[in-house]
Structure formats: C-alpha cells, structure tokens
C-alpha cells in the first residue's frame, strides 16, 4: 500500500509532468514547423470527431441537470442500476452518454453531480470507470470500416469492448457500498405507497429549487459550460498531437527497438509496431489507425491490441477526464487502475473469442449496418471525413438507450416491490 501511495504521490506526479513539459517545449523550439503541423492535425481531429459528438450532449446534460429532469430520471432508473451494479439511478444517464458519445461527456456530468452531492465519492469513481467507453460509430464506422476495411471486424470489436466494460462493472460491484446521498431514494419496497412516478416528480422539484436559476440563465450557462469543456478537450488533443510528433522526430521508438534487439528480441517490424503501440497509449484515434495499418501483426494479435488500446482510452483522453473531475475528491489513481483492468479484460476476451465471434457475425450479412452508418457503401478517412452528418443518428441512439433502460427499470422496480 505504501508503494502504491508513493507511485501516485503528488510530488512524483508534479515532477513527471514538469519534465514532460520541459521536453515538449524543447521539442517545439527544435522543430517549430513540424510542431505547428502536428497541432493543426490535432485541431482537425477535434473539429471533425469530438466537437460534433459532444457539443449537443454537453449542453443537454447541463440544461436538464439545472431543470431537475436529470434527477427525476435518476429516480426512474434507480431500481435497475441498484439491482445490477449498485449504482445510483442518475448513473443511467451517464452510462447512456458514455455508450453514445464517448467518455468525456460522462466525466463532465459526473464532475457536476459530485460537486452538488448527488452521488457519493465511491459511486462517482465507479461511474467514471463504467462510462469510459467509446461509441459504436467510432468503433464500427471509423476503426472497422475506415481503418480495417471490414465492418464485421468493427462490430466484433464493439461487442468485445462493451462486454468487457460490463464485466468490469460487475467486478467493481463486488464489495460496493450502497451509501445514502441527498435526494436519492434507495428502498423501493418502502416507497411503494408514495408511488414511483410521484417520487421522481418530488426529486425533480427538489433539484430544480436547489439550482434556482431561471431558464434563460440556465440556457446561457449550459452553452458556455459545454463550449468551455470542448475547448479544454481541444487543447489536450493538440498538445498530445505535438507530443507524438516529437516522439517520431526524435526516433524514440527506433531506440527502444534497438534496446530490444540487444536482448535478442528482433521480430520483423519491431520499430513500427512499437511506434503504433506508443501512439495508442497516448491517443486512441491515431493509435488504432496505426495498429490497423500495420502489416507485421497477425489478425488475432491485431484485434487483441485494438481491443486493448480502445479499452485503455489513451493518455490524451485521460487528461481530459482529469480536467473535468479535478475540482472534486474523486481519486484519479482509481480511474487509472480501472483503465488497466478494462484493457486486460478486453485483451484476453479478444484472444479467446475473436475467431468464433467473427464466424458468428459473418453469417447472413457480410456488412452490418449499425448506428446509422451504412458500412457496406462507406469508407472513412481521418483526412477528409467527420462525424458532423451523424449527429441525428447519435441522438436517436441516445434516446433509444434511455428508453430501453426505463423499460428494464420498470420490470426491476416490479421485482423489488414484490420482495417481502
């Protein structure tokens, strides 16, 4: 325990960040033109992938939170989330955000809910881990269709990604506490007399009165907060894009490959494979692109590495998550540990199930259509395509996910109320 505390100590973290910042500044001074082009590439990636994906959902989440509708919906989803994962009902909205848009919007909602005391520290940390998933449009449309040129492989990666995330949630459920927090009912059997819908209405009114902002003020604050959060994400992506360019220019991966060769590890393409892995550790979009384009990795190992990198999420995304929860007491070391656990589960699950899963998904339809993305007639490229045309299908996905959770929660509430 003492060793783990030392590993994540603030002094060591500050030292590592300081050294990294100095190295980055030195690289920018040494290669100014290349650094500028890398920052432009990060900006394009932010504008084409992240901005259209997150902006509507960030504004909508803040708006509904201020109106109290988010808390009312949490009361309706409480039976299902408590029974399955011992999470608060309001976590259903966060999980739907993560599975529709990606991890950033869920983290922003968790930070706001923790500040107002709607969730406990332990619940916030587990929700932060559970909502850190990538949306099916990215996995199937971008990685599968665009990078691998195989929509079935993208669908298989999505199944493995979400299955491993659910397994991680069930793992974290073991030993989890059901703590009491403000405006969050826990015992539905005792609340049967007051009514399920009336309880939701009561919580919505309480949260709205607690917020106190008028609709005009709330709308302006929601737009401002969503835009500010997106600029934070864009800055992180540009910084990490420059950092990856500096690593390439300094031939860091070649040096590491040379070190491996000293110990007799000399497979074909060691430098390029290590460069792809290092890119994936830093940034998930470019990392999956590099792994998918590597010709030195067998198919089964390639799928396992892609599953690992997608589950890990990339340090660029982790920095964005950290910025959203920095003002709370949520422990970032717990989040990083969960990323490692998710990566290991996804890697092993891919190794075990890839071939039978591909055989099963290939039956009947060679090119599945999912998430409003016509995979059969589409090719996707980082240089020219964006997710702007897919905002409407993503909103439909999100609404469908919430509706399914509500239906399942009705059955869960019925089962809980029937228990003696």
Is 163 domain-assigned? yes
Is 16 domain-assigned? no
Helix ranges (H only) for 293-390 are 299-312, 315-325, 332-361
Q: How many CA atoms lie within 13 A of 260 on its CB side?
A: 15
* Rounded alpha-carbon distances, angstroms, from residue 40 to 33, 36, 239: 11, 6, 10
Is 145 domain-assigned? yes
Please report the pLDDT score of residue 23 as a whole number. 79
Of 9-18, 35-44, 207-216, the poorest mean pLDDT is in: 9-18
> 361 with 25: CB under 8 angstroms?
no
pTM value is: 0.85
User: How many structural domains does the chain have?
Assistant: 1
What average pLDDT does range 48-68 have in this prediction? Answer: 90
Please report the pLDDT score of residue 337 as a whole number. 94
Q: What angle is formed at CA 313 by the lines to CA 140 and CA 244, rounded to 5 degrees?
A: 105
> What is the chain's percent helix, strand, coil content, to nearest 5?
75, 0, 25
Please report the pLDDT score of residue 418 as a whole number. 62
117: left (phi over 0), alpha (psi -120 to 50) or beta: left
Residue 297 burial (C-beta neighbours within 10 Å; 0-12, 13-18, 19+): buried
Backbone angles phi, psi at 362, to 5 degrees: -80, -15
Please report the pLDDT score of residue 184 as a whole number. 43
Residue 375: pLDDT band (50, 70, 90) is: very low
**Residue 355 pLDDT more than 50?**
yes
**6-19, pLDDT tens digit by residue?**
445 667 767 776 77
Q: Which of 243, 249, 334, 335 is nearest to 281 (CA)?
A: 243
**Residue 27 pLDDT more than 50?**
yes
Provide the 8-state DSSP code for 141.
Answer: I
Please report the pLDDT score of residue 42 as a whole number. 84
What average pLDDT does range 370-396 have in this prediction? Answer: 60
Please report the pLDDT score of residue 90 as a whole number. 92
Is 87 domain-assigned? yes
Is 8 domain-assigned? no
pLDDT greater at residue 180 or residue 405: 405
Is 412 domain-assigned? yes
- Domain of residue 136, residue span: 32-418
Structural element, H or E, at residue 182: none
Which positions ≥6 away from 247 have C-beta within 8 Å?
253, 278
**109-167, pLDDT tens digit by residue?**
999 999 988 899 999 999 999 999 998 888 988 888 888 888 899 999 999 999 999 99
**Residues in the chain, how many?**
420
**225-243, pLDDT tens digit by residue?**
999 999 988 988 888 888 8
pLDDT greater at residue 344 or residue 297: 344
**Residue 35 pLDDT more than 70?**
yes
- Across 234-269, b (16+ Cβ under 10 Å) vs e yields bbbbbbbbbbbbbbbeeeebeeebeeeeeeeeeeee
Is 27 domain-assigned? no
**pLDDT-above-70 percentage for the chain:** 82
Is 22 domain-assigned? no
């Amino acid at each position: 325990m003492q060793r783990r505390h030392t590993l994540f100590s603030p002094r060591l973290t500050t030292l590592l960040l300081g050294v990294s910042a100095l190295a980055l500044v030195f690289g920018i001074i040494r290669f100014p033109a290349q650094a500028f082009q890398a920052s432009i590439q990060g900006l394009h990636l932010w504008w084409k992938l992240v901005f259209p994906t997150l902006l509507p959902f960030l504004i909508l989440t803040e708006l509904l939170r201020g109106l109290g509708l988010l808390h009312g919906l949490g009361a309706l989803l409480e039976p299902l989330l408590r029974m399955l994962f011992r999470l608060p009902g309001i976590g259903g909205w966060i999980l739907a955000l993560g599975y529709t848009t990606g991890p950033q919007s869920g983290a922003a909602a968790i930070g706001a809910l923790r500040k107002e005391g709607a969730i406990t520290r332990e619940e916030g940390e587990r929700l932060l881990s559970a909502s850190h998933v990538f949306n099916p449009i990215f996995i199937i449309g971008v990685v599968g269709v665009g990078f691998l040129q195989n929509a079935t492989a993208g669908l298989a990666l999505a199944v493995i990604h979400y299955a491993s995330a659910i397994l991680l949630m069930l793992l974290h459920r073991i030993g989890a506490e059901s703590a009491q927090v403000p405006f969050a009912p826990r015992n539905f059997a005792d609340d049967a007399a007051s009514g399920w819908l009336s309880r939701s209405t009561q919580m919505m009114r309480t949260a709205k009165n607690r917020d106190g902002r008028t609709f005009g003020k709330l709308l302006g604050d929601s737009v401002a907060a969503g835009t500010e959060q997106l600029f934070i994400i864009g800055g992180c992506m540009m910084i990490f894009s420059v950092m990856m360019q500096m690593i390439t220019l300094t031939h860091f991966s070649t040096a590491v490959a040379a070190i491996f060769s000293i110990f007799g590890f000399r497979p074909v393409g060691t430098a390029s494979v290590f460069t792809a892995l290092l890119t994936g550790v830093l940034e998930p979009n470019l990392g999956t692109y590099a792994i998918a384009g590597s010709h030195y990795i067998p198919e089964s190992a390639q799928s396992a590495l892609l599953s690992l990198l997608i589950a890990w999420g990339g340090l660029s995304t982790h920095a964005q998550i950290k910025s959203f929860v920095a003002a709370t007491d949520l422990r970032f070391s717990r989040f990083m540990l969960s990323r490692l656990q998710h990566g290991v589960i996804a890697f092993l699950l891919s190794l075990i199930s890839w071939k039978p899963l591909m055989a099963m998904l290939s039956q009947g339809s060679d090119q599945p259509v999912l998430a409003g993305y016509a995979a059969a007639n589409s090719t996707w490229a980082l240089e020219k395509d964006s997710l702007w045309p897919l905002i409407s299908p993503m909103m439909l996905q999100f609404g469908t996910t919430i509706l399914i959770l509500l239906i399942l929660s009705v059955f869960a509430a019925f089962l809980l109320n029937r228990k003696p």
